[in-house]
Amino acid sequence: MIAIFKLDRNARGVTLIETMLAVIMLSLLFGSANNVLSYSRRETEKGFWIQQAITQLRNGTRAITDMLKKTSYPSTIIRYGSGEEKVISFKEKREYDISGRLRKMELNPSTAYDMHSISDGSMIRPNFSNQTVMYFPVCDPEKDFDSGYVPGNINWVELALRPSSHYSTSGLGTLYLIERQKTYDTRTDTARRAFGLTDEFDPGDTITREREIINDVNAIEVDSYEIDELRGIYVTQSGDRQEVTNKRILVSINISVSHPKDAKIWLGDQCSIINNVQLVKMAGGEYLELLEVLSASSARVKYNT
């Protein structure tokens, strides 16, 4: 039996061109969907980064402020069996007569236990090395009582800027609070006690605590404002009246952070505190800041070392 098939002239197959067009359209569709999802993921990541940056800036500046509030000089408290108490500070030496009148007051010119910070208006930016923004002492007094002796304690606090793990691609750094503790005993210098201390900050001392407080740091700027403060008035045995003044200093720290993959996204915060110790200004770090593009081959920049 011979089978006969009738040819349907309306039936047709899928040509190669139509297949290619379908593949191209599906590719465009999936590509567009992938771009939308990638964009959404990037924006979500930026949102999470902004939330984290706000939290770190708030907590970091609070931690710095709390430490600055505690700045103090070493001192010696002597308490005799009669109940008489004598306080000798590193920065001030006072002498009283038998009636309790202030007869002499001397300020220590040494800067060993002053705060050391980058100079006014100086901006420090991350580089491949570790940089010190400032360091200052937080001290517990030495106590020499008839009932017993307790040595004094100095907690050196350093604010340090280090390059982040992605510094080579982002140019950003990480801010650390580093603490180093050491004790002091002045019983061998009974004439001057804490007033005669000479030890200075040593970055080689053992670190007792290290905290990473702010990531993705772009720049740190330190400013200070000072006024003269009357520390005391004394009258000498000859009747001369003398006034002793010292500086009262307000320290302001401004910290800015930026997104490691989008420099247009940046945040900043600052903290200000009236310092309890004197300020010694160090040289600021080297930086180059673009202020204005003048032409294709020239620009106005701000440079400092």
What is residue 194's DSSP assignment? G
Maximum average pLDDT range among 98-107, 148-157, 296-305: 148-157
Radius of gyration of the chain (CA): 33
Asked, for residue 177, whether it belongs to a domain, the answer is: yes
The residue with tokens 């991350």 is 126
Helices within the chain (DSSP H only)? 16-69, 167-170
List Cβ neighbours of 198 (8 Å cut-off, separation of 6 or more).
Answer: 110, 112
Determine what percent of the chain is predicted with pLDDT higher than 70: 87
pLDDT, mean of residues 42-46: 78
Distance CA 159, CA 136 (A): 9
Identify the weakest region by mean pLDDT among 4-8, 24-28, 54-58: 4-8
Count of beta carbons in the 10 Å neighbourhood of residue 89: 19
Asked, for residue 95, whether it belongs to a domain, the answer is: no
Would the pLDDT of 38 be above 60?
Answer: yes
Determine what percent of the chain is predicted with pLDDT higher than 90: 42
Domain containing 202 equals 16-69+116-136+155-304
153 SS3 class: strand
Closest CA to 119 of 292, 277, 304: 304
State the DSSP string of 216-262: EEEEEEEEEEEEEEEEEEEE-TT--EEEEEEEEEEEEEEEEEE-SS-
Name the domain count of the chain.
Answer: 1
Quick one: how far is CA 50 from the chain centroid? 19
Identify the weakest region by mean pLDDT among 2-6, 30-34, 181-185: 2-6
Residue 84, pLDDT score: 73
List Cβ neighbours of 35 (8 Å cut-off, separation of 6 or more).
Answer: none
Asked, for residue 3, whether it belongs to a domain, the answer is: no
Asked, for residue 233, whether it belongs to a domain, the answer is: yes
Asked, for residue 45, whether it belongs to a domain, the answer is: yes
Q: What is the chain's mean pLDDT, rounded?
A: 84
Distance CA 262, CA 216 (A): 12
Structure tokens at 234: 């004394």
Residue 31, pLDDT score: 76
Q: Give per-residue pLDDT as tens, 94-152.
A: 777 777 777 778 888 999 999 999 876 778 899 889 999 999 999 999 999 988 899 99
Residue 42, pLDDT score: 74
> Which carries the bigger pLDDT value, residue 30 or residue 301?
30
Distance CA 37, CA 226 (A): 54
Binning the chain into helix, strand and coil, the percentages to the nearest 5 are 20, 45, 35
Asked, for residue 103, whether it belongs to a domain, the answer is: no
List Cβ neighbours of 226 (8 Å cut-off, separation of 6 or more).
Answer: 247, 248, 249, 250, 279
Q: Which residues of 137-175 are buried (b: 16+ CB within 10 A; e: fewer)?
A: bbbbbbbbeeeeeeebebbbbbbbbbbbeebeebbbbbb
Q: Give per-residue pLDDT as tens, 174-210.
A: 999 999 999 999 999 888 889 999 889 999 999 999 9
40 SS3 class: helix
Q: Give per-residue pLDDT as tens, 5-21.
A: 555 555 555 677 777 87
